[in-house]
Amino acid sequence: MHSVRFHHHATKSQMNHRRGSALLVCTFAAVALSLSSLAIIRSSRVAVLRVDSLRCHFETKHVAHGLVQNAIAHLQYDPNFHSNVVDTTLKKSSPYREAYCSVVNDGTTANIAVFMYPGAPAFHSIVVDPDDLKLDGGPD
């Protein structure tokens, strides 16, 4: 006996349904890939902003620390020093180019305050006794 094979030929309607289903699945896959790509891009942007914020914070602290050290050096040489101290080594393009340190000296104590720009609140401030800082060889 011969075996009879039945060939099932899909109708045109069935073929259109299959094509439509495949197109729908591909569309959902494309949407899922697009959304995941956008999520990855957004998370990397957030990470970059976070790193930039930390960099800015540490740069500000370093500039302030340098200005305080400069003011202390002036007070070590001259315990009566009172003026503003600026960092002339900062580039004109630096966001800290207007930062300054104010030294207010009443003869017994010196208040050193760092301002990151004119009109800003003090970023950092300390009170020191200029006589404790005096170096040998400075003016009396």
Percent of the chain whose predicted confidence (pLDDT) is above 90: 39
Those residues whose C-beta lies under 8 Å from the C-beta of residue 85, and which sit 6 or more positions away, are: 67, 70, 71, 74, 100, 101, 102, 103
Side chain identity, residue 49: L
Amino acid letter for position 59: E
Q: What does the pLDDT average to over 81-88? A: 90
Mean pLDDT of 64-69: 93
Q: Is the pTM of this model over 0.75?
A: no
Confidence at residue 34, expressed as pLDDT on a 0 to 100 scale: 92
pLDDT class of 114 with cuts at 50, 70, 90: very high
At 107, the pLDDT band (50, 70, 90 cuts) reads: confident
Q: Model confidence over 20-46: pLDDT tens digits?
A: 788 888 898 899 999 999 988 888 898
Q: In what order do the strands lie in the sheet with 100-105?
A: 84-86, 100-105, 110-115, 124-128
Query: How much is the mean pLDDT over the chain?
Result: 85
Rounded CA gap, 70 and 52, in Å? 27
Query: Model confidence at 95, in pLDDT bands (50, 70, 90)?
Result: confident
